[in-house]
Amino acid sequence: MKPYIFITRKLPNDIVDQLSLRYEVSMWGYEDIAVPKERLLQEAAKANALLTMLSEQVSEEVLSAGPNLKVVANMAVGYDNVDVNTAAKKGIAVCNTPDVLTDSTADLTFGLMLAAGRRMVESSEYIKQNKWQSWSPMLLAGQDIHHKTLGIFGMGKIGEAVAQRAKGFNMKVIYHNRTRKTEQEQRLGAKFCSFTELIQSADFVVCLAPLTDETRKAFTYEIFKQMKNTAVFINASRGGLVDEQGLLTALQTGEITAAGLDVFEREPISADHPLLKLPNVVALPHIGSSSRETRMAMMQLCVDNIIAVLSGEKPPALVNQDWKPKN
Active-site residue list:
238, 267, 286
| Extended strands (E) in the chain | 4-7, 24-27, 49-52, 71-74, 93-95, 149-153, 172-176, 190-192, 204-207, 232-235, 258-261, 281-283
CA distance 315 to 324: 10
**Nearest to 285, CA basis, from 115, 98, 32:** 32
CA pair distance 115, 191, nearest whole angstrom: 25
Task: List the strands of the sheet with 93-95, edge to edge.
Answer: 24-27, 4-7, 49-52, 71-74, 93-95
Residues in the chain: 327
Question: CA 212 from chain center: how many Å?
Answer: 13
**Strand, coil or helix: what is 118?**
coil
Measured CA to CA, the distance from residue 307 to residue 14 in angstroms comes to 15
CB atoms within 10 A of CB 32: 7
d(CA 205, CA 184): 19
* Angstrom distance (rounded) from CA 178 to CA 130: 48
Concatenated DSSP letters of 275-323: GGG-TTEEE--S-TT-SHHHHHHHHHHHHHHHHHHHTTS--SSBSSTT-
Half-sphere exposure of 221 (CA within 13 A, CB side): 10
